[in-house]
Amino acid sequence: MAFAECDGVRLHYRADGDPANAALVLSNSLGASLDMWAPQVEPVARRFRLIRYDARGHGQSAVPPGPYTIAQLGRDVIGLLDHLGIGQAHFAGVSMGGLTGQWLALNHPERLRRLALCNTAATIGPPENWTSRAEAVRADGVGSIADTVAARWLTADYAAAKPELAATLRRMLAATASEGYAAACLAVRDADFRADLARIAVPTLVIAGTHDAATPAAAGRFLADHIPGAQYRELSGAHLTNLEDVARFNEALLAFFGEAPAS
């Protein structure tokens, strides 16, 4: 296991692939760990230096007291890149990871080569929903909301066809530290990039899921319509299209990031 001290927080990360290749950082969704990217590792690491990490409060990373902000999550990424000696990287984030990507593109565009915003939005959900969820998790633990939240990650048909995957995702979510999850809920609650999207100059791909209730396809189209030059791909599946429409998700990432010359 590898760890890096980033902005005063110990982050857990894994690196795969040839260090001589262009780096690609993958950022997890709320309540998930870097293991959510398992179907991407083999194909992506063949062509890129693949960096996966657990966001603060998640997985095996440290759980500092909250609330967190998307700016903190973004600075953690900058710290990880500095730790690894990476000047520029491609970046792909799902949901909360996509909010982190937007912050990076707006505040540290010089560190990004290309950006993929996956199953995310410029602002996610009514703020009061996140406040209520954080309160519930602090009172009763992540397990109390695990069934409801994990049920939105895959379509019902796919979860029924892949019961082991569905069970693994629920366990991943339930294992998340309650303080880390609640603190990250407040980071998501307070993030709103709608007024800033036109300033994103990093080449951007938006991936949305047709059946995503958490960040609907309309939210993805809004991103693509307001980020200059952004590309848009809609895949089958719910909130985690990287796990439900794996082949097309991987193809979309490799095609988009492969358009940029390797370092």
- Reported as a single tens digit per residue, the pLDDT across 57-98 is 999 999 999 999 999 999 999 999 999 999 999 999 999 999
pLDDT at residue 7, rounded to an integer: 80
pLDDT at residue 218, rounded to an integer: 98
pLDDT tens column, 159-207: 999 999 999 999 999 999 999 999 999 999 999 999 999 999 999 999 9
pLDDT at residue 263, rounded to an integer: 39
CA distance 205 to 231: 5
pLDDT tens column, 209-240: 999 999 999 999 999 999 999 999 999 999 99
Q: Is the pLDDT of residue 261 over 50?
A: no
What are the residues whose beta carbons fall under 8 Å from the beta carbon of 234, sequence distance 6 or more?
A: 207, 208, 209, 210, 217, 220
pLDDT at residue 135, rounded to an integer: 97
CA nearest neighbour of 241 among 51, 40, 90, 30? 40
Q: pLDDT tier at 1 (50, 70, 90 boundaries)?
A: confident
Encoded amino acid at 241, one letter = T
Q: Is the pLDDT of residue 34 over 60?
A: yes
CA distance 227 to 205: 10
pLDDT tens column, 13-27: 999 999 999 999 999
pLDDT tens column, 239-251: 999 999 999 999 9
Q: How far out from the chain centre does Cα 68 lie?
A: 15
Beta-bridge mates of residue 231: 205
Question: Alpha carbon of 254 to those of 43, 99, 116, 134, 237: distances in Å?
Answer: 9, 21, 11, 36, 19
Cβ neighbours of 142 (radius 10 Å): 22
Q: pLDDT tier at 262 (50, 70, 90 boundaries)?
A: very low
pLDDT at residue 35, rounded to an integer: 98
Given CA atoms 223, 206, 150, 175 in this order, what sign does their dihedral have? negative
Encoded amino acid at 66, one letter = G
**Which residue carries 């870097």 as its tokens?**
34
**CATH entry, 2-257, from 3.40.50.1820, 1.10.1740.10, 3.30.300.20, 3.50.50.60:** 3.40.50.1820
Cβ-defined contacts of 40-47 (< 8 Å, 24+): 40/242, 40/249, 40/250, 40/253, 41/16, 43/250, 43/254, 44/17, 44/250, 44/253, 44/254, 45/16, 45/17, 46/17, 47/17, 47/21, 47/254, 47/258
Domain extents in the chain: 2-257
Q: Is the pLDDT of residue 259 over 90?
A: no
**How would you label 183-207 residue by residue, b for 16+ Cβ within 10 Å and e otherwise?**
bbbbbbbbbebeebbeebebbbbbb
CA distance 113 to 173: 31
pLDDT tens column, 120-167: 999 998 999 999 999 999 999 999 999 999 999 999 999 999 999 999
Q: Is the pLDDT of residue 115 over 90?
A: yes
pTM tops 0.75: yes
